[in-house]
Structure 1
Amino acid sequence: MQLVKAGLCAFGMSGKVFHAPFLKEHPGFFISAIVERSKEESKEKYPEATIYRSVEEMLNHADIDLVIMNTPVQTHFDFVKKALEAGKNVIVEKPFTVDTAEAEELSELAKEKGLFLSVYQNRRFDRDFLMVREILSGGKLGELKEAEIRFDRFRTEAGGKEHKVNPNHKGSGALHDLGAHLIDQATLLFGFPDKIFADVFSMKGEDFANDYFEILLYYKNHLIVRLKSSTFSKEAHYAYSFHGSKGSFLQERSDNQENELVAGAIPVYGKEWTKPLQQQDGILNFIDENQKTQRILTLSEPGNYMNYYQQIYEHIVFGYPLPSPAEEIIQNMKVIEAAIESAKEEKVIYLSR
């Protein structure tokens, strides 16, 4: 099996949870380098990796084919540019960059260098979203009229990392963080919207980055899609709601990969590794071909973030399609920017590709 040597640019939460375990367990990857600015925490689980004290040092000296850029979003543009100029393929954490202009420049640079640039949109591999795609593809809801995707939390106290909560840092806040996931899922399901109206602000006050957003995406076929996130939601809502001419589908946010990984679970290559659900997590209510109402409790199949890295590996080795390529995610950045503009100007924003 061809071996892909990877370098991890940070060993914080995302490095420990979302990247290193999957690179370690996938037989096609080898973690050759890890950036830790002052500590050596990675040595315990990944002793084979050389520790570097900066991204620049790793790019200049490490024997790597692939760079995983999991540093704060405000550093993505500079670091990804340096990695591409060093001749490395790059996986960059979401949100891609702080704005569309940066994303477009990096995408063009990758093309010029003959390298790939993929954005790590891991929520595409959540069990709940995979179930949504399955239900919608089945056509049981008829012509879709209304959809809602939401990601709520109950975090009423200020906290978190400076680059995420300080309103003076471009790219901070829930819209770039959670919004990057919801917008990605909406555009995957329905394509690029025609216009947008949004409300984006901080429930905690103006001293904090936005922690609430509601975005309305309008499509020419009279479909309206609502994306919403709040940090003051103690009781859970259905994360996904879809209503069409023949029925409705409601889906809980039931994927637990992140929690299991944080608790120390080890992903398994080629197999399911998450704990099974104890009860159904969705409701499908529709009118069947005999004009009778069917109300079914549904159970989603396990998701697996390993499938993202499997697709990366297959792209490298076999030339298969690249998951979440830069030029695709640029469209998501345009929606984020339009939402900011809409909230600021209090008006509908018409979009163009």
Structure 2
Amino acid sequence: MSAHASSGETADAPRQHPGPPDAPLRVGLVGYGLAGSVFHAPLIAATDGLVLDTVVTRNEERRAAARAEHPGVRFAASPQELWERAGTPEAPDLIVIASPNRTHVPIATAALEAGLPVVVDKPIAGTAAGARGLAALADERGLLLSVFQNRRWDNDFRTLAGLLADGALGEVQRFESRFERWRPRPKGGWRESGDPEEIGGLLYDLGSHVVDQALTLFGPAVLVYAEADVRRPGAAADDDTFLALTHADGVRSHLYVSATTAQLGPRFRVLGQRAGYVKYGLDPQEADLRAGLRPAPGRPWGEEPEELWGRIGSGESPATGGGTPVRTLPGDYPAYYAAVADALRGRGPNPVTALQAAAALDVLEAARRSAREGVAVRLPHATPPHASDLSGV
């Protein structure tokens, strides 16, 4: 497939966890809103070798919800309380930052300066420079700094990565990826804020996922064109955005993120010289987590019914049953935190590095400029920081 070698970010091999080899690693989770309660806390709790020790939130309703699902969890009113434990027997082994986007860089900086490894929800920062600054600090301190790009473990992405690795499509020419929703009325909140300091809007929200997936599969982008619109009455940030990337190897990625799509398109449409692959429907893991389902040993997770499997073929329309069904591999969000635990113990690499996140932010910044100025933006051709071995994806 078209993935490329790692940049060799030294934070891939951080200082190992100093405690007993079998002692569970204590996690301090900063934020218990949507990201903290639906994604991070359940996945941390489901990971062998990790324990959710402390949740940072002042909100009493969120504390009650966390206590109900995670009995015995402790609480802190501010991240500073976690830093104060550094160097003591009560020190957390990992800080997970699931707070609003604008807080990611200052909280991650403080954690690293306190000597604590960090996982940051995407986007790690509002700029590529901010992400690279954090990477440099983590490298200087010899600490793990990882970015929660969970959709590398989506069922459809894992399936497509396998097809590309097997050469089933031949040389890929065009990659279409859609992350579309039908939400005709804004929900409000910082994610839909027009304040640049909030780092809201779909470009940096869902766009962080589709760009990361495209770069992981096909390597660095050298040219970026984008259209970003505010469609819904009362909306303040982009809610209907399109990106066109030209990769260094010639693949073209067309990426759509939208909250205004009344009829949803295929999640993936990938066209190669030998065959194409078309897949409809979103990975079920987010919906299951929102519904209160949790991964557990021996319990099926991330599976989808056969009628949602994608199809591979040539000269045929999947809409009329053309092509051959391809079983969708199970989604595996738990694999991210399992890899983080292994990295902290020196048993494996950082699953998603800050430099990989910075490469995606280079594209997002170029897209923002392209949409604003109506021009295509050329990026310098650099060696991509993404690992070529996607066997664990």
TM-score normalised by the chain length of structure 1? 0.93
Task: Provide the rounded CA distance (Å) in 2 between the counterparts of 1:165 and 1:280.
Answer: 31
Q: Confirm whether residue 23 of structure 1 aligns to residue 27 of structure 2.
A: no
Task: Provide the rounded CA distance (Å) in 2 between the counterparts of 1:264 and 1:303.
Answer: 17
Equivalent residue, structure 2, for 1:55: 79
Q: Confirm whether residue 45 of structure 1 aligns to residue 69 of structure 2.
A: yes
Residues 309-338 of structure 1 deviation map (CA, whole Å, 9 limit, x = unaligned): 111111112331111111111100100000
Aligned counterpart in structure 1 of residue 159 of structure 2, from 85, 109, 131: 131
8 Å contact kept, 1:282–1:298: yes
Q: Which moved more, 1:214-223 or 1:142-151?
A: 214-223
Task: Provide the rounded CA distance (Å) in 2 between the counterparts of 1:86 and 1:253.
Answer: 43
Matches within 5 A, 1:67-146: 67-146=95-174
Amino acid at match of 2:84: N
Equivalent residue, structure 2, for 1:6: 27
Task: Provide the rounded CA distance (Å) in 2 between the counterparts of 1:336 and 1:27.
Answer: 35
8 Å contact kept, 2:266–2:280: yes
Question: 1:111 deviation in Å?
Answer: 0.7
1:220/1:50 CA distance change after superposition, 3 Å: closer
Unaligned runs of 5+ in 2: 1-21, 316-321, 383-393
Equivalent residue, structure 2, for 1:273: 301
Give the total of aligned pairs. 346
Equivalent residue, structure 2, for 1:164: 191
Q: Confirm whether residue 261 of structure 1 aligns to residue 310 of structure 2.
A: no
Amino acid at match of 2:329: E
Residues 232-280 of structure 1 deviation map (CA, whole Å, 9 limit, x = unaligned): 2122211111112112110123411111111111211476334541524
**RMSD of the alignment, in Å?**
1.8
8 Å contact kept, 1:5–1:29: yes
8 Å contact kept, 1:280–1:298: no
Question: 1:73 deviation in Å?
Answer: 0.6
Equivalent residue, structure 2, for 1:32: 53
Question: 1:132 deviation in Å?
Answer: 1.0
TM-score normalised by the chain length of structure 2? 0.84
8 Å contact kept, 1:257–1:274: yes
**Secondary structure, in 3 states, of the residue corresponding to 1:279?**
helix
Aligned counterpart in structure 2 of residue 349 of structure 1, from 363, 367, 377: 377
8 Å contact kept, 1:2–1:317: no
Question: 1:206 deviation in Å?
Answer: 8.2
Equivalent residue, structure 2, for 1:291: none
Aligned counterpart in structure 2 of residue 225 of structure 1, from 236, 253, 258: 253
Q: What percentage of residue pairs aligned between the two structures are identical?
A: 30
